[in-house]
């Protein structure tokens, strides 16, 4: 059996703080302590903690669909203080919804012999689901805690959880 990892997706100022460019809303606040606890649990068992963080260029085409957010090097792109990475954690900058696109995430997971991932963070229906789908296509086991993910839209959140469970085989708890 391989190692377990937790992916902490886009828990950055622009999504988590009310003044952020793409603030998720009040549903994001309760997931912060839950993610803290899950990350601590994974660290304590010798697992891998990975932060996946939007880091867009100022002219990113995504800004045609969403307001500018998480521009690389800006305060909005910083991980929230209560979830700051610890020694041994990995931080991966990403520019697309799936954290596997043009990053070294797949290589890191392979090198660290990860076979199960806990998916956390925001947005359930965008970056969390797209990354989980790519992981499922690699035949990895996925776990999603309902109280560790959040979205702009409750209906999209519920749909994403259902899709991750039925289509990608995630263990949604």
Q: How much is the average pLDDT of 75-80?
A: 98
Q: Give the residue among 13, 24, 17 at the shortest CA–CA distance from 53.
A: 13
- Beta partners for 49? 6
R_g (Cα) of the chain, nearest Å: 15
Query: DSSP readout, 1-29?
Result: --EEEEEEE--BHHHHSTTSTT---GGGT
> Does the CA dihedral 21-100-44-146 come out positive or negative?
positive
Whole-angstrom Cα distance, residue 142 to residue 117?
5
- Tens of pLDDT along 25-68? 999 999 999 999 999 999 999 999 999 999 999 999 999 999 99
Structure tokens at 28: 């994001």
Which pTM was predicted? 0.97
Domains in the chain with CATH codes? 3-172 (3.40.50.850)
Confidence check: pLDDT of 75 > 70: yes
Structure tokens at 116: 């199960």
């Amino acid at each position: 059996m391989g190692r377990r990892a937790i992916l902490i997706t886009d828990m950055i100022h622009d999504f988590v703080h009310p003044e952020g460019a793409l603030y998720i809303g009040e549903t994001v606040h309760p997931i912060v302590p839950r993610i803290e606890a899950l990350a601590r649990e994974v660290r304590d068992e010798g697992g891998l903690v990975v932060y996946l963080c939007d880091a867009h260029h100022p002219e990113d085409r995504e800004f045609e669909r969403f307001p500018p957010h998480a521009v690389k090097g800006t305060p909005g792109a910083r991980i929230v203080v209560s979830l700051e990475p610890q020694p041994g954690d990995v931080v991966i900058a990403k520019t697309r919804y799936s954290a596997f696109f043009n990053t070294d995430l797949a290589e890191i997971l392979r090198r660290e012999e990860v076979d199960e991932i806990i998916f956390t963070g925001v947005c359930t229906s965008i970056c969390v689901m797209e990354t989980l789908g790519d992981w499922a296509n690699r035949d990895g086991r996925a776990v999603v805690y309902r109280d560790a993910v959040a979205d702009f839209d409750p209906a999209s959140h519920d749909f994403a959880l259902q899709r991750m469970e039925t289509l990608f085989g995630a263990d949604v708890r």
